[in-house]
Chains A and B, each alone.
Chain A
Amino acid sequence: METYFLKNDDLVKFYEHLAGDYDLYVPVREKSPVKRGECTCKAGLPTDDYFLKKFSQVRKEDIAFNDYRAVEPTRAFFTHYKEEACEYFEDAGAKEKIERPVALCGIKNCDLFSLKVQDFVFLGGNEADPLYKSRRDGALIISSDCPHFKEVCFCRAFDINPYPAEAFDFNLSPLNNGYLLDIATQKAKLIAVSLKKLLVPATLGQLSGRRAKRESVNMRMDEHLSQYKIPKKEILQDIVLSGYNSGIWQEEMRTCVECNACVYMCDTCHCFLLSDASSSGSVKRLRLWDGCLLKNFTKVAGGANALKMRYMRLRNRYLKKFDFFVSNLGYQACCGCGRCIEVCPGKIDIRRILRKLYEEKYLPAA
C-alpha cells in the first residue's frame, strides 16, 4: 500500500476528478434536531450528523470530513429499499439498466466490516445477486479514519478499530493541514496516476503522527465504552444461545413500537421480500427491504407464524446476528456502529441487552 499526503485545498480537486467517472457521494454535516441523552463519561462527544450526498448536488463549501460514520447505512448504496428485481417473462437482457458506478467517500471501518457481511449474503452461496454484484464490482470505496466517535459508537467492543486497514480503494486520514491518502487497490492506483501533481509521498513523521492520532481515539473510545461493559465478541454466540429462555427479551421489548427503524438503519441487516407489483401490462417483481422485527416476517400461508410475539422477534434478531453469522461466516453480524441505538424511539440498546445476557449467565445475583 502506498501512502501520500494530500493538502486540504486539494481534496475537492480529488473529488472532482473522481466525479468524472463515478456517481460520487461525499459527506455533508447537518445538525440533527433529535439527540439522545448526555454521555455520562463527560468525554465531550460530538452530536452532529453526517449524510452522504451526491457531489454534483451539494455546494462545495458544504462538503465536510465526517468525523464518524454517516447516518444512513452503507448497504443502501448496494441494495435499495425498494427496487425492481426483474420483469416477468420479458427478455431480462433487453431491459437491463446500466447504472453509473458509485464512489463513496466517508465510509468508515464499521461500514467496511458490514460490507463483508453483505458480500457474504449477496455474492456468496450458490449464486450471486446480479444487481448487487454489478454495483459492488463497479464501486470505488474511499474510506476514512474516525478522529472522533458518537456516544452510540461501540466498534472497539468487538475489536473493530475506528480506522480502516483493508477493504477500501483509498483511505483518508486527517492530519495537520491535509490528509494521508492510502492507495490500496489497482483501481485506485490507476486513478492516482492522473493525480500525481496533488500527491506527495508521506513522510515517516506523518505516518507516526497518524499512528498517534489513531491510538488517541482508541484510548478515548475504550474509556467511553468501559461504562457499558459490553461482552467480548468471542462470547456473543454463547450468551445469546444460553439466554434463549431468558426474560430479558420480554423486558427489553416493552418499549418497542415495531417501527423496524433498527433493522432499516442496520448496516449488516440484509433481509428482503420479493413481491409482485400489480400492473396492467408486464409484471414487475420488486425486492423490498424486510425486517425480522415486523410481525409477518415468518408468517406462512394459512397463518402460522413462528415469531408471533415481539420478544420472539427480538430474540430472533440476536440469534441471527450472533449465532447464525458466527456459525456460517465466522464472526458476528454487528459492526458496533450504534445506528440501531440512535434511531430507537423505545431506547432499546444493544449494548445493554448483550450486557444483561452476559450477567445473567456469568454473574447471576447471589
Chain B
Amino acid sequence: MKKNIYQPLKTVIEEIIEETPAIKTFRLKPEGGFKFATGQFIEMAVPGIGEAPFTPSSDPGISEKLELTIMNVGEVTAKLHSLRPGEVVGIRGPYGRGYPLDKFKGKDILIVGGGVGLAPLRSLLFSLFATIGNYNKVVLRYGSRSPKDIVYKTIIPEWAKRDKVDVLVSVDIGDPGWQGNVGLVTTILGNAPVDFTNTLGIVCGPPIMMKFVTLKLLDLGIKPADIYLSMEKSMSCGLGKCGHCRIGKYYACKDGPVFTYEQLKDIHDIWD
C-alpha cells in the first residue's frame, strides 16, 4: 500500500489544559508514539473543518505524548477549542527544520518569546534542559500582553529555579496583582546576563515582536547568523508543494520554519 502524504494520523485528545482565556494546551496520545525534533511543526486536522500548522510545545524526548499550545484565533482553532478530552483529531508530520542544537554548544542561549510564541520555545527549553551541560547558560525573556495572557504560569517559576537558567517575564500592561516587570519584551533584553559576543538569540512570537526583538538583538551585538527565527506563514501542505509559505527563495515549511536572520535579512517584507 502506498503511503498517502496527505493522510492524517488519528489521534485522541487525552487532556486539555486552559493556559489563558484564549489559549489551551492539548495533550495528545498518538498511537505508537510520535517523534519530532524541537522546532519542527505538524499539521493538525479537525475532521470536516480543516488543518492548521502548529509547532509542538512538549518535550521531544517523550514520544508517547504530544502537546500543542494553541490560541483560539481562526476557524480550525475555534473548533479545536470546543473539543473535549476523548475526542479525535488528525496529525501529519513532523515537517521542516527545527533548531540545530549541535550549533548551540558552548554558547549563551538567549530565548525571547512573545505571547503564544512561547509554545515552540517550551519544547526547545525541554531539549536544552536535557543537555544543559552543553551550554554556558540559558536565558529566557518572555513578553505577554497582560498577566492573564501569560502561558505556562505554573511551570515558568520552576524553570527559573534551575541551574544555569535565568528567567524574566514582562507584560505590556500590568494589573493590580502584578509584581513583575512592565514593558515590551525589547526593554528587558539589554540587561540579560549573557556575553553578547558569544550569544545565540532565539525568537518566536508575533511578527511585529519578532521584528523589533531581532533589531534589538542586532543592536546588542548578536550576529545575523546567530539569531534564529521561527517564521509563521500559511503552510497548507507542509511538504513544499502547495506554494503558500514562500519567503524569497525558501519555503517556510521545508527550509524552515526555523531560519537564521542571516538567511532572511536580504529578503523584502519578511515580517508581513
Contacts and interface: CB of A to CB of B under 8 A. Distances in A.
Interface of A: 85-86, 88-89, 92-93, 96, 121-122, 125-127, 129-130, 134, 244, 270-276, 278-279, 283, 285, 287, 290, 292, 297-302, 304, 306, 316, 319-320, 323-324, 327-328
Given A300-B233, A302-B73, 16 more contacts: A88-B45, A92-B7, A121-B240, A122-B241, A125-B240, A125-B241, A126-B240, A126-B254, A129-B241, A275-B50, A285-B45, A290-B242, A316-B246, A319-B246, A320-B243, A320-B246
A89 B10 contact: yes
A276 B76 CA distance: 11
Interface in B208-234: 232-234
B248 A85 contact: no
14 contacts: A89-B10, A89-B90, A92-B7, A125-B254, A127-B3, A270-B241, A271-B242, A274-B6, A275-B50, A300-B234, A301-B75, A306-B272, A324-B248, A324-B249
Given A92-B1, A301-B52, A304-B207, A323 B248 contact: yes
A272 B8 contact: no
Contacts of A89: 8, 10, 47, 88, 90
Contacts of B232: 300
A285 B254 contact: no
Contact of A93 (B1, B5, B239, B244): B1
A96 B2 contact: yes
Contacts of A299: 234
Nearest to B240: A125
Contact of B244 (A283, A285, A298): A298
B47 A88 contact: yes
Contacts of B246: 316, 319-320, 324
B243 A276 contact: no
B236 to A, nearest CB: 5
Interface string B1-45: 111111110100000000000000000000000000000000001
Interface string B71-86: 0011111000000000
A130 B2 contact: yes
Contacts of A274: 6, 50-51, 236-237, 242
B48 interface: yes
B161 to A, nearest CB: 35
A307 to B, nearest CB: 8
Contacts of A93: 1-2
B90 A327 contact: no
Nearest to B271: A306
Contacts of A275: 50
B103 interface: no
B39 to A, nearest CB: 16
